[in-house]
Amino acid sequence: MAKQLALISGPSGTGKGPALDEVLKRLASTIQVGRIVLYTSRPMRAGEIPDVTFHYLTAEQIKNLDPNRYIIGQVRLDWQAIDLEEVKTVLANFDLVIVEVYPTLGQKLLEWLKLHQEFDSFEVKTIAMVPMSNEEMAVAALICGTTMENALYLTMRGKLERRASKSDTPEQIQSRASLAYTEIQMMKDYQHHIVNHIGEDNKIGWSKPLCIEADRVVQELVSVIQHVEPNHYRISWHDYEDGCSLNKIIEVKKGDDPEQAAENHLRHYLKPNMYELEAVTLIDLTKKDNPIKKWRIEVGPVFEGPGPGDGSDASFDVVIFVGTKEEMKQKAEAMCLVYSGYNPDIGHCTTSYSATIED
């Protein structure tokens, strides 16, 4: 594997910490992984280890660090810093380096790397971990009769309140939740986006054995880091007696049992004992002669008259969809209907279909 730097960002409480801990365990037998440890002014939480999770200093100590050696910046209500000497050491000694960093500090780190040719051999991967996709935020906004930004805020406030430690003040929780939408917009140009529905507030889900959603997130992170292109399978299932059905594309890591993966997904979506595995049809989508391809769909609102204030809700939603051309069109039309309904300021949506077939 070529030398890599995986830069991971995401709103507070989205599960970056437990997901990365599990990723490191799974990669331990195949490669040594280096982590860049940041300085932070926030209090240490239960389970965190000094100089492993963070280097802990006061805000004043961080602000007084040498700007020629450290990248320094405010992160919500706290201060953080990156020691560039530590960065040099870690990059020199490991082929795979992971750093969890706030988007603004991450951008400064990438700019610094571009100025140092000795690190040109590193392949940089930017990974955004988010609690909801744009489409899910639009659905939540439609149901609640509010904006996408406020729907996300309500979701994150609940997660952060459940995760809160004694040192987390109501002001900090409010700041973290209210900035989640802005932080997701900061990461719109990241190469990879991983939706993680199970945040750090769900301690049972991250305990052994991992729940299905946590395991999926970890597998996706590992796949991104290791260049593993998963096989795609279609699950088709129908219960004629109850009238329930499911038609879903799943990703199966190479070497894993697709039937077991199908069963895990069914258990996630359906109640126990509602189905039998024999009722499931699996179609291998890796064959070259099948009509199912990978499509990139962009959906964006077109406003009639003035836009909604600063236009922050007008950004395009980009999704990767696996299916036939007709199914791709149906998916795009469904997304467009969701967007046109969630905000009364939206007149209608235009959908562009740009398809690329990936082997």
Q: Would you give per-residue pLDDT tens digits along the chain (359 residues)?
A: 578 999 999 999 999 999 999 999 999 888 899 999 999 999 998 889 999 999 999 999 999 999 999 999 999 999 999 999 999 999 999 999 999 999 999 999 999 999 988 888 888 999 999 999 888 898 888 888 899 999 999 999 999 999 998 889 999 999 999 999 999 999 999 999 999 999 999 999 999 899 989 999 999 999 888 875 556 666 665 554 555 555 666 666 666 777 777 777 666 655 444 444 444 555 555 555 566 666 767 666 544 444 333 444 444 566 666 677 777 777 777 766 665 554 444 444 444 444 443 44
Per the structure, how many domains does the chain have?
Answer: 3
At position 111, the amino acid (one-letter code) is E
Does residue 14 lie within any of the structural domains?
A: yes
Q: Residues 338, 238: one domain?
A: no
Ranges of beta strands (E only) in the chain are 4-9, 33-35, 39-40, 55-56, 70-75, 78-83, 96-100, 123-130, 192-195, 231-239, 244-252, 280-284, 293-303, 317-323, 346-355
Residue 202 domain boundaries? 4-131+188-226
The dihedrals phi and psi of 258, each to the nearest 5 degrees, come to -65, -35
Question: Which distant-in-sequence residues (6+ apart) come within 8 Å of 20 by Cβ?
Answer: 8, 98, 100, 221
Burial class (CB in 10 A: 0-12, 13-18, 19+), 313: buried
pTM for the complete prediction?
A: 0.69
Q: Residues 205, 305: one domain?
A: no
Does residue 342 lie within any of the structural domains?
A: yes
Q: Residues 324, 202: one domain?
A: no
Q: Residues 8, 108: one domain?
A: yes
Does residue 71 lie within any of the structural domains?
A: yes
Query: Are 353 and 328 contacting, i.e. CB atoms less than 8 angstroms apart?
Result: yes
Q: Residues 193, 329: one domain?
A: no
Q: Residues 108, 241: one domain?
A: no
Does residue 168 lie within any of the structural domains?
A: no
**Residue 199: closest CA among 162, 165, 144, 225:** 162
Torsion of CA 96, 102, 105, 110, to 10 degrees: 40
Q: Residues 112, 195: one domain?
A: yes
Does residue 183 lie within any of the structural domains?
A: no
Does residue 177 lie within any of the structural domains?
A: no
Query: Are 189 and 174 contacting, i.e. CB atoms less than 8 angstroms apart?
Result: no
Q: Residues 270, 208: one domain?
A: no
The confidence score (pLDDT) of residue 348 equals 45
Does residue 178 lie within any of the structural domains?
A: no
Choose one of 226, 242, 272: the last residue of a domain: 226
Q: Cis peptide before 308, with omega less than 30 degrees from 0? A: no
